[in-house]
């Protein structure tokens, strides 16, 4: 059984995308997370790839590079590999990408998973919060 660290917070791709699309809830969520002391924020290298692909037609290449560089200043990036994908195949969950994100986040014992995915709550040993619930994490 994994013992998660309540100071480790994993942020899903959909929250990052919402921030750069100007969604108020995601913007306020990340601003709140950035203000927390003693917490470590994580995203996955998968999320960076997804974000780049998502914004490839919406933003210039220079804007995307600027976004990625900014993310590196705010988050620690967890790399993923073939073993993470193989481990995620053992779960019986319909969204493979979310399962991979879960496996990646648990590598560094992230307790909080911030996502706007409605079905992410099936995973155990973690606390799943939507961006609208972010203030449940105390300063």
> pLDDT tens digit string along 88-123?
899 887 788 888 988 898 888 999 999 998 776 666
pLDDT at res. 94:
78
Domain holding 59, by residue range, is: 5-132
Q: What is the pTM of this model?
A: 0.92
Average pLDDT, the chain: 92
Partners of 44 in the β-ladder: 78
> Does residue 139 sit within a domain?
no
Residue 111 lies in a domain: yes
CATH of the domain at 59: 3.40.50.1010
Is the residue at 74 inside a domain?
yes
- Number of structural domains, the chain? 1
Q: Is residue 138 part of a domain?
A: no
| Alpha-carbon torsion angle 74, 76, 80, 84, nearest 10 | -110
38/58 Cα distance (integer angstroms) = 35
Angstrom distance (rounded) from CA 40 to CA 132: 20
- How far CA 78 is from CA of 44, 56, 62, 118, 135, in Å, comes to 5, 22, 23, 23, 24
């Amino acid at each position: 059984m994994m013992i998660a660290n309540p100071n480790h917070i994993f942020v899903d791709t959909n929250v990052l995308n919402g921030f750069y699309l100007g969604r108020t809830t995601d913007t306020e969520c990340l601003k709140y997370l950035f203000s927390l002391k003693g917490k470590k924020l994580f995203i996955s290298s998968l999320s960076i790839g997804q974000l780049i692909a998502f914004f490839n037609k919406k933003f210039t290449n220079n804007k995307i590079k600027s976004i990625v560089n900014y993310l590196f200043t705010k988050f620690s990036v967890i790399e993923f590999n073939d073993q993470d994908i193989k481990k995620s195949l053992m779960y019986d969950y319909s969204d493979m990408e979310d399962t991979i994100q879960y496996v990646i986040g648990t590598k560094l014992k992230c307790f909080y998973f911030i996502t706007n995915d409605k079905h992410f709550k099936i995973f155990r040993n973690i606390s799943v919060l939507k961006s609208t619930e972010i203030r449940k994490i105390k300063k």
